[in-house]
Amino acid sequence: MTYPEGYTAAVVGAASGIGRAVAERLARAGVRVACLDRHDPAEVAAGIGGGAVAQALDITDAAACERTIGGLWTRFGKLDALVNCAGVVGRTNIISEDVDHDDFETVVRINLTGALFLSQPALRRMRETGYGRILHVASIAGKEGNAGMAAYSASKAGLIGLVKVMGKEYAESGVTVNALSPAVIRTPMVAALPDAQVKYMTDKIPMKRCGELDEAAAMIGWIVSPECGFTTGFTFDMTGGRAVY
């Protein structure tokens, strides 16, 4: 994948997992990368080089999102792409009648509300310049629901709906907004889940394996490139054959 000279991307959740893999892949392709994460992403930025910058960001803070995106715009003069990989699973293996209210609200605030807070300052500026690529990482749980994961499934379903709305609203502006819907990807977040939960999810995948970080990064890299220009409001499948719609 090649990008125009000076192409700039912000990757949220860049300290680990899919976000880190995306930041590294984009940097190798010559993209100027801003690594953002609630945990200090300085190590990642230093490791990928290429003028990458790092900044801590809590996406549940709307004012911080505005300052951060605005600051990147000032620093780089533009922002071509925004990749949002931030997300939490919350408590799992809990049936809906026993879901903890505080845990539910925390998961939704990070996975869904945070995506809105992050998108708003980017959309505003991208619309003005007439170009932009926004990608939110959702989940197959948002399409089908995973038993025992009410908060996560509901938040990711909401995120898919939000992407559909934004895609339609900005379809004529040169800005695309899409989502990626992975099944189980081999990330630290997945490694922290109970074995029973991972087996439940993996057994549903016809390929009978987890997706790899490089596979996710490659797909995201294309979605936020100029080559992916006629698709918006769409949730791309990455499920090893689990979701074929």
Q: How confident is the model at residue 123, as a pLDDT?
A: 98
Question: Is residue 191 predicted with pLDDT exceeding 90?
Answer: no
| DSSP per-residue string spanning 137-170 | E--HHHHH--TT-HHHHHHHHHHHHHHHHHHHHT
Assigned domain for 238 exists = no
Q: How many domains does the chain have?
A: 1
What DSSP state is assigned to residue 212?
Answer: P
Q: Does residue 3 sit within a domain?
A: no
At 227, the amino acid letter reads E
Is residue 209 included in any domain, yes or no?
yes
Report the alpha-carbon distance of residue 78 to residue 204 in Å, rounded. Answer: 42
Grade residue 51 by pLDDT with cuts at 50, 70 and 90.
Answer: confident
Report yes or no on 187 lying in a domain.
yes
Tell me, what's the pLDDT at 197? 74
CATH of the domain at 185: 3.40.50.720
Question: CA 50 to CA 194: how far, in whole Å?
Answer: 38
Query: What are 211-233's pLDDT values in tens digits?
Result: 999 999 999 999 999 999 999 99
Single out the catalytic residue among 152, 170, 200, 245: 152
pLDDT bracket for residue 137 (50, 70, 90): very high
Q: What would the mean pLDDT of 3-25 be, rounded to a whole number? A: 97
Radius of gyration in angstroms for the set of CA atoms belonging to the chain, rounded to a whole number: 17
- Return d(Cα 120, Cα 70) in angstroms, integer: 11
Q: Where in the sequence is the domain holding 91, given as residue range(s)?
A: 8-231
pTM reported for the whole predicted model: 0.95
Residue 2 lies in a domain: no
- Examine residue 245 and state whether it is found in any structural domain, yes or no: no
Give yes or no: 200 in active site.
no
What whole-number distance in Å separates Cα of residue 238 and Cα of residue 211?
Answer: 8
Q: Is residue 242 part of a domain?
A: no
Q: What is the mean pLDDT of residues 90-101?
A: 96
In a domain, 236, yes or no: no
Cα–Cα distance, 123 to 214 (Å, whole number): 27
Q: Which two tokens mark 28?
A: 């190798």
